[in-house]
Amino acid sequence: MSKPASTPARRFMKLAGMTASIATKAVSNRIQSRYASEEEKATQRQQLLEQIGVQIADTLGEMKGAVMKVGQIASQYQDIFPPEIAKAMARLQRQAPPVPFATIQQQVEKELGKSLSSLFARFEQEPFAAASIGQVHRAVLHSGQPVVVKVQYPGVDECCESDLKQIRMALRLAGVLKIDRALQDELFREIETSLHEELDYTHEAHNLALFAAFHAPLDAQLVIPRVFPEFSSRRVLTLSEEKGDSIEQAAQYPLEVRNQIGQRLFSMMGQQIFFLRQFHCDPHPGNFAFRPDGSVVVYDFGCTKVLPESVAQHYRKLVSAARRNHIPDLETELRGLKVRTEQGQVPAEFYKQWLSLLLPPVNEPFDFAQSTLHHEAVKLGRKSLKYWDCFQPSGDTMMINRSVSGHYWNMVALKVQENFEPLVSRLIIAPLETHSTET
């Protein structure tokens, strides 16, 4: 593996080289397709996208920092990127290689203003997790308290803005963003805001305290690590060590425990979205740990989203309309969420087909271990292409979609067999009915 680009100038040159190469490929493809049949054009376009996807993934995979994080985020939005691009970029979800310990030690001592030995009784040199913008080490305070220390790679925040501009330019020149310029601006602002928040560990420390205070009276078995402020800064975050099993290990728990965990994850998501109106929106399984008593440990509160009350209400009404199969109300709420465009007419049958697919997991007993929903959604999506211009991704819904789809896969991995309808009624529908009665 080649040495990661570290300085802003080197990163800029590497990304600019990728952008130029992609632009050349795109121009060449347009020239070659000029006299090709429609079938040949489609084949050439698919081959181009596959080549571009591999090139982007290879380049970003060699670079730590914001640009790799953008790639990781992008890989989760197949409604924004062609599947060939998203599939290639999904490789970036794998764990990143760690940086040398000397670099980590220097960063900790610079941020906290003391030597490592005066700060910690023990500090493991080998990280147990390494990601795009930092890595995590186990340590022990002089008080004997076991902790984990999250350390941001030096210089990552300095490269954030230029990295983001370069990757957007590359995708735009390649013609792979399937949305108009105004919506691109909105979504990339969303990504930029998310990146800046993740790069500020004091922001994450605040989130940890906020979510812990919110959930403590609701569920003692939802565990959120405690922050040690005197051992934390903008680029170093020290937390209580909260152990648990991986999702693969939890999948071997008895069904009753797995269902408890499923209920806990679903309830957590609903409480945050509809009551706290700020939610943990990085549902990657590595951000959770599980215990045989049904407890769930939640890590990484760097990526959260504050939800306006109006958006939460649109979602409540959307779910209500879906459960009633009331298509006019459903379309009204989709317009309110800026998902339904002003283009064209969409027949009721289109919505009914999607509802018959999407409602069962939240409306009746459902076996996630046997779920084929994701396969059926792909098939139905292909049939729905003629209505493509009638819908668009929305900045208000992007992170919610990310959370819902991520937790769907967590339920599949845990082989949950549960009926979530009572939770939907309690968390989403009942407050809507109460609000209607009051008004």
Is the confidence at residue 94, as pLDDT, over 70? no
User: 230 with 127, same domain?
Assistant: yes
**Of 203-217, 344-358, 423-437, the least confident:** 423-437
Q: Are 71 and 57 in contact (CB under 8 A)?
A: yes
Is the confidence at residue 174, as pLDDT, over 90? no
Q: Is residue 188 part of a domain?
A: no
Instruction: Write out pLDDT tens, residues 16-38.
Output: 788 888 888 888 888 888 888 88
Is the confidence at residue 439, as pLDDT, over 70? no
Compute the average pLDDT of residues 311-325: 95
Q: Is residue 187 part of a domain?
A: no
User: 171 with 315, same domain?
Assistant: no
Number of other residues whose CB lies within 10 A of the CB of residue 121: 13
CA nearest 211: which of 154, 296, 337?
296
Kindly tell me the burial class for residue 347, based on how many C-beta atoms sit within 10 Å of its own C-beta (0-12, 13-18, 19 or more).
Answer: exposed
User: 141 with 163, same domain?
Assistant: no
Confidence band, pLDDT 50/70/90 cuts, at residue 189: confident
Percent of the chain topping pLDDT 90: 52
Instruction: Write out pLDDT tens, residues 152-167.
Output: 988 777 766 677 777 7
Percent of the chain topping pLDDT 70: 85
Is the confidence at residue 401, as pLDDT, over 90? no
User: 328 with 433, same domain?
Assistant: yes
User: 104 with 47, same domain?
Assistant: no
Q: Is residue 33 part of a domain?
A: yes
Is the confidence at residue 416, as pLDDT, over 90? yes
Is the confidence at residue 95, as pLDDT, over 60? no
C-alpha to C-alpha distance for 105 and 151, rounded to whole angstroms: 9
3-state secondary structure of 170: helix
User: 147 with 167, same domain?
Assistant: no
Is the confidence at residue 50, as pLDDT, over 90? no
Q: Which of the residues are catalytic?
A: 282
Is the confidence at residue 373, as pLDDT, over 80? yes
Q: Is residue 210 part of a domain?
A: yes
- What are the φ and ψ backbone dihedral angles of 349, each rounded to 5 degrees? -60, -35
Compute the average pLDDT of residues 85-111: 79
Count up the domains in the chain and report the number: 3
Tell me which residue range forms the domain holding 328: 245-439
User: 380 with 404, same domain?
Assistant: yes
Is the confidence at residue 364, as pLDDT, over 50? yes
User: 139 with 15, same domain?
Assistant: no
User: 127 with 254, same domain?
Assistant: no
Q: Is residue 231 part of a domain?
A: yes
Averaged pLDDT of the chain: 86
Compute the average pLDDT of residues 278-294: 93
pLDDT at 38: 80
Is the confidence at residue 1, as pLDDT, over 80? no
CB burial of 78-90 (b: ≥16 within 10 Å; e: otherwise) equals: bbbbbebbbbbbb
C-alpha to C-alpha distance for 205 and 368, rounded to whole angstroms: 34
User: 409 with 363, same domain?
Assistant: yes
Is the confidence at residue 415, as pLDDT, over 50? yes
Is the confidence at residue 138, as pLDDT, over 70? yes
Identify which has the larger pLDDT, 247 or 196.
Answer: 247
Compute the average pLDDT of residues 253-264: 98
User: 25 with 77, same domain?
Assistant: yes
What are 179's two structure tokens?
């949305």
Confidence band, pLDDT 50/70/90 cuts, at residue 3: very low
Q: Is residue 370 part of a domain?
A: yes
CA nearest 165: which of 27, 400, 8?
8
Q: Is residue 317 part of a domain?
A: yes
Compute the average pLDDT of residues 67-79: 58
Is the confidence at residue 2, as pLDDT, over 50? no
Is the confidence at residue 235, as pLDDT, over 90? yes
Q: Is residue 186 part of a domain?
A: no
User: 386 with 416, same domain?
Assistant: yes
Is the confidence at residue 326, as pLDDT, over 80? yes
pLDDT at 164: 73
